[in-house]
Amino acid sequence: METEEDVELVQLNSAQAEQFARIEQLWPEFGHSLQVLAASDGGGMAWRTVDGIEYLTRYTRQDGKQKVKSLGRRSPETEAIFEQFESTVLKARRVRRELREDVLLSCKLAKAYGVARLHGRLAETLDWLWYTGASSRISVFGGTALLAYESGSGIIAPAALVKDKHLQFVARTEDLDILNLDEIAEACDVDDEGATWKYDDDRYLIRTKLERRLLAEVFLPTYFVRRLDGDAHDELKGMLRGPGTKALTFSRDTRPIELTALDPRTYAIAAHCMRDSDLWAERAQFACELVRQRWPDDFDRVQDIILDADPDVRWSRLRGP
């Protein structure tokens, strides 16, 4: 990929890098505890003695009232249930309690040092997709994806390139049943206005039902590969369906957010396919230089061929949103 001028890569300073390192240290335990607690129905569990016999009792609250349910007499089976509750829910509560202040401090420092840049509205959607597991079916694209490469590369993404009015994703499948766009649309509807999706030229547009405000785009792999052939077609198709890159970033409202973004090599090529837009040309250029200079895995031969080709000659241009 030839460029008119070199891209200046700005390194994270020591304070910024320290916050990424700290949240990455805390997140495996803390993040898992959040998922465990989100999947539980709250409440507690304890042994209760009635007429000299111990019963395992489950306590929950519904509509402000406590509900009590006996799970049976003390036995190997109920002891196993209680042990499971202790090792999952109770452990998760302890981890969340013990690490919450450290996590919050890291997020506040990240904001003070200028690396908490993800808009709260977008963070809400990405958080929901992480909680539900929907992020295993789609990869973050657009400017937001560049935030996922900061820690791994040690390079801060230019502010002009990361701004997104709405989220963009690339689907890892074209099977609608697997993709489950209803769940993705619900995650995007953070204001609870109601959201719907519609197919449009190898992508799905998610909009609010009444105002028709665009909330997100979900690109199918065919959006990028339909004008490629041979090795280039097969290479990019496989890359777009790959597991992507998991990384942490910080939201402006001081939360750690786990992103599953396109691998930066895939991002660079997909952005290159959309480079008739000045913004996408700059994103492609930045991603290419980041990979070549600071990412552990460089482009392979076929990927270099795609990047070095002139889109006007090799394939018809793909126009971005």
Which pLDDT does position 4 carry in this prediction? 47
Asked whether the beta carbons of 113 and 19 are under 8 A apart, the reply is: yes
Alpha helices in 172-229 (DSSP H): 176-179, 181-188, 221-225
Task: For the beta carbon of residue 254, count every other beta carbon within 10 angstroms.
Answer: 18
What's the rounded mean pLDDT across residues 128-137?
A: 94
Please provide the average confidence, as pLDDT, over all residues in the chain: 91
Which pLDDT does position 74 carry in this prediction? 94
Angle at 46 between CA 40 and CA 52, to 5 degrees: 150
Percentage of residues of the chain with pLDDT beyond 70: 94
3-state secondary structure of 115: coil
Phi, psi of 12 (to 5 degrees): -60, 140
Asked whether the beta carbons of 53 and 72 are under 8 A apart, the reply is: no
Asked whether the beta carbons of 207 and 214 are under 8 A apart, the reply is: yes
Angle between helix axes 91-112 and 14-39 (nearest 10 degrees) is 150
Residue type, 281: A
State pLDDT tens for residues 255-300: 999 999 999 999 999 999 888 899 999 999 999 999 999 999 999 9
Phi, psi of 93 (to 5 degrees): -65, -40
Question: Over 90: is that where the pLDDT of 233 sits?
Answer: no
By C-alpha distance, which of 279, 6, 290 is closest to 168?
279
- Name the helix (H) or strand (E) containing 120: helix 120-132
Q: In what order do the strands lie in the sheet with 44-50?
A: 44-50, 53-62, 65-73
Phi, psi of 268 (to 5 degrees): -60, -45
Which pLDDT does position 105 carry in this prediction? 98
Which pLDDT does position 232 carry in this prediction? 84
* Strand 138-140 versus strand 167-171 pairing type: antiparallel
Q: How far apart are CA 268 and CA 284, in angstroms?
A: 5
Asked whether the beta carbons of 33 and 131 are under 8 A apart, the reply is: no
Question: Over 70: is that where the pLDDT of 321 sits?
Answer: no
Which pLDDT does position 319 carry in this prediction? 39
List % helix, strand, coil for the chain (3-state, nearest 5): 50, 20, 30
Which pLDDT does position 273 carry in this prediction? 87
Give, in order, the Cα–Cα distances in Å from 43 to each of 7, 35, 36, 85, 89. Answer: 54, 16, 13, 11, 10
What's the rounded mean pLDDT across residues 237-242?
A: 92
Question: Over 80: is that where the pLDDT of 154 sits?
Answer: yes
Asked whether the beta carbons of 134 and 265 are under 8 A apart, the reply is: no
**Which structure tokens are listed for 117?**
């840049």
State pLDDT tens for residues 2-40: 544 568 899 999 999 999 999 999 999 999 999 999 988
Which pLDDT does position 312 carry in this prediction? 53
State pLDDT tens for residues 167-180: 999 999 989 999 99
Total residue length of the chain:
321
